[in-house]
Amino acid sequence: MVCACRGSTVRLTAALIAAALLTACANAQASGGHQARHASPVAATSAVHASAKATEPLLAHAPLFDPSIDLRAAPVEVPLELQLPRLRLTAPVLGVGLNSKNVMDTPMGSAKDPVWQKVFWYRGGGTPGEATTATIAGHVDDVLGRPAIFARLKDLRPGDTVVVHDTRTGLDVDFLVTHSITYTLKQTVDPAVLQQIYGPGPVAGQGPEPSSDGVAHLTLITCAGNWVGTAGTFDHRLAVYAVAFPSVLTPERSRS
């Protein structure tokens, strides 16, 4: 089974993960804000879970990155793309670990750096498409406050498709959005919330653990709400939750 291998075991506590959620958003002040909301799941969520049992590894059997690379190493290119058809968005994926502050790395750069249009898969957690929880973060804006890759993540709705595309093989894993939740910063330190975002393994300082329902889960996360200058971050976090359908593991196809 393909897994997010690491060169060393690093304890990623709930407090550190919460700090990671802050780091992902500490880039620039953005105008406007979004009210905290809890989107209703699709009516067929239970049926989705019943049919989404993960029986296949992600896309290809080859590792997504060199398994000897330490979790504290710099971000690595991985042969994946994230596709959000509703938003007409395709983003290259970077595999990230822990930065020098011991939190999930969310690379930043100058205003011209392409990193603002990339997304970051936490390689200390699950691999997308396996029966674990995989987490992918993205910036909501850049250092000038301009929209970044996840600026419109709030527009995803239950029933929308999220695609993880393997650029080596042309194969896709399709996920179905079940619901989205906007958390306050206080909520992001709740261990139960962190386990939903990352899965129980990383929160406990371990590697990814099989999901209790046998389903492949995917979390997309970014900042939301209002910029708080004194804190250097936004005051909410938006998480979009989705589950995978191994039965739709298919060659690359056109999407409108």
CATH code of the domain covering residue 218: 2.40.260.10
- For residue 254, how many other CB atoms are within 10 A of its CB? 4
Q: In the prediction, which pLDDT does 9 show?
A: 35
Is the residue at 67 inside a domain? yes
Measured CA to CA, the distance from residue 246 to residue 66 in angstroms comes to 25
Cα distance between residue 140 and residue 187, in whole Å: 19
Structural domain including 117 reads: 28-250
Q: Of all helices (H) and strands (E), which one includes residue 35?
A: none
User: What residues of the chain score a pLDDT lower than 50?
Assistant: 1-16, 19, 22, 28-56, 247-250, 253-256
Q: What is the pLDDT of residue 33?
A: 39
Q: What is the pLDDT of residue 47?
A: 40
- Let me know if residue 13 belongs to a domain: no
Domain membership of residue 12 (yes or no) is no
- Residue 18 maps to a domain: no
Residue 55 lies in a domain: yes
**Backbone dihedral angles phi then psi of residue 123, each to the nearest 5 degrees:** -80, 0
Reference 58, options 1, 137, 6; nearest CA is 1
State the pLDDT at residue 21. Answer: 53
Nearest of 6, 24, 42, 13 to residue 195 by alpha carbon: 13
The answer as to whether 14 is a domain residue is no
How far is 137 from 82, CA to CA, in rounded Å? 11
Are 173 and 164 in contact by the 8 Å Cβ rule? The answer is: yes
CA pair distance 24, 233, nearest whole angstrom: 9
Q: What's the pLDDT at 179?
A: 96
Residue indicated by tokens 């993205």: 138
- Would residue 15 count as lying in a domain? no
Tell whether 11 is covered by a domain. no
Tally of structural domains, the chain: 1
- pLDDT, residue 243, reads 95
